[in-house]
Amino acid sequence: MTTAGTTTGESLPPALTAENLVVEYPAGRGRKVHAVSGVGLEVAAGETLGILGESGCGKSTVGRSLIQLPPPDSGTVRLGEVTLTGLAPAELRRARARMQIIMQDPVSALNPRRKVKDLVWEGLSIWGSGDDPRDKDTRIDAALRDVGLDPATVRDRRPHELSGGQCQRVCVARALLLDPEVLICDEPVSSLDVSVQAQILNLLETATRRRGLSMVFIAHDVSVVKNISDRVMVMYLGKTCEVLPSDGMQDEAVHPYTRLLLASLPEAQRGPVAVADPAVSDGPAADLPSPLDPPSGCRFRTRCPLATGLCSEAEPPLRDIRPGHRVACHHV
């Protein structure tokens, strides 16, 4: 965790701001998946914001909207002073180099035909100062060493000659070589062995701390998100339920859904359970809400022990209950 990132994200100008993001996917016959419905966030310089929630709640969609791949249907994303939403394509590509994304599956993120040294240099040759190749080899080697890879061993290998963990290290090296201000990590360790997971998490934590990088860290594993993040944003069915400091989260969380996630920690570690996903036909989702037709009012009300009539009539606003802690619930 960082010291620069306060629990409130207020002391430094935000490195990344998103307001009211909305993403809807067409689902045929005039229907649409309400994947993300009015989500906002703020990440201070040097801060790590975790995004937590069950499978299908919209975490990756938020991550992709932040980096504008694709842009949200509506809402605003600002990277420092630059508003990304609405930029012309060429300007957007340039600005986007300041924000890099690390994906869940490192092997498919890498072109299988290219050697590690070219993969690491790829981004810089397109967006950065890679047009001056004089120090190319030195910089590639330093980037590989930075992520714990031995340049002499790996620089001429192709992705299939590396382990999953090594591939993820190459992805991290490639992202860091562009000297980004913000790193978006979407389940960066979910496809890796437990022992390798810890190594990659350490690597990300050290790299962000050393460089003062801001990070958005998406995962469904409560303990992973809690450990790496300064603050945690909990999502349910395309909405934000609660945002709170990760320190003391176990005791301080008040939203019934966050409490449920924390209470089911061992289950959460075994893997996500379902929010009904229209893309999955054989899930046990009959009585779970669908993002095709989310519940009125509070989207969590159909599973909530505190639900009353008010919850179906009015959507609870996300409100501050103390510095750095926001919650969207009528009853807490």
Ligand X SMILES: Nc1ncnc2c1ncn2[C@@H]1O[C@H](COP(=O)(O)OP(=O)(O)OP(=O)(O)O)[C@@H](O)[C@H]1O
Binding site for Mg ion (CB under 5 A): 60
Asked if 127 touches ligand X (CB under 6 A), the answer is no
> How many other CB atoms are there within 10 angstroms of residue 308's CB atom?
12
Q: How far apart are CA 129 and CA 92, in angstroms?
A: 18
The listed partner (Mg ion, ligand X, none) that binds 61, CB under 5 to 8 Å by sort, is ligand X
Asked if 33 touches ligand X (CB under 6 A), the answer is yes
Identify the burial level of 210 via C-beta atoms within 10 angstroms of its C-beta, where 0-12 means exposed, 13-18 middle and 19 or more buried: exposed
Asked if 277 touches ligand X (CB under 6 A), the answer is yes
Q: In this chain, which of 37, 60, 68, 168 binds ligand X, going by CB under 6 A?
A: 60
- Residue 75 phi, psi (nearest 5): 110, 175
- Does residue 168 contact residue 188 with C-beta atoms inside 8 Å? yes
Q: In this chain, which of 291, 294, 295, 316 binds ligand X, going by CB under 6 A?
A: 291
Name the segment binding ligand X (CB under 6 A); options: 75-83, 144-152, 196-204, 275-283.
275-283
Asked if 59 touches ligand X (CB under 6 A), the answer is yes
Report DSSP letters for 128-185, one per residue.
SSTT-GGGHHHHHHHHHHHTT--HHHHTT--GGGS-HHHHHHHHHHHHHHT--SEEEE
Give the helix/strand (H/E) hosting 321.
strand 319-322
Cα Rg for the chain, rounded, in angstroms?
20
Name the segment binding ligand X (CB under 6 A); options: 54-62, 112-120, 148-156, 304-312.
54-62
Q: How far apart are CA 10 and CA 17, in angstroms?
A: 12
Asked if 241 touches ligand X (CB under 6 A), the answer is no
The listed partner (ligand X, Mg ion, none) that binds 272, CB under 5 to 8 Å by sort, is ligand X
Q: How far is the CB of 80 from ligand X (least distance, A)?
A: 25
Q: How far is the CB of 120 from ligand X (least distance, A)?
A: 27
Name the segment binding ligand X (CB under 6 A); options: 153-161, 274-282, 294-302, 304-312.
274-282
Q: In this chain, which of 21, 35, 84, 183 binds ligand X, going by CB under 6 A?
A: 35
Q: How far apart are CA 193 and CA 70, in angstroms?
A: 30
Asked if 61 touches ligand X (CB under 6 A), the answer is yes
Q: In this chain, which of 46, 56, 256, 294 binds ligand X, going by CB under 6 A?
A: 56
Q: How far apart are CA 196 and CA 186, in angstroms?
A: 16
The listed partner (ligand X, Mg ion, none) that binds 24, CB under 5 to 8 Å by sort, is none
Verify cis geometry, omega within 30 degrees of 0, for the bond prior to 70.
yes
Q: In this chain, which of 69, 126, 263, 279 binds ligand X, going by CB under 6 A?
A: 279
For residue 31, the SS3 value is: coil
Asked if 330 touches ligand X (CB under 6 A), the answer is no
Supply 70's token pair.
């694709």
Asked if 142 touches ligand X (CB under 6 A), the answer is no
Q: Can you give the binding site for ligand X, defined by CB under 6 A?
A: 25, 33, 35, 53, 55-61, 220, 272, 277-279, 291
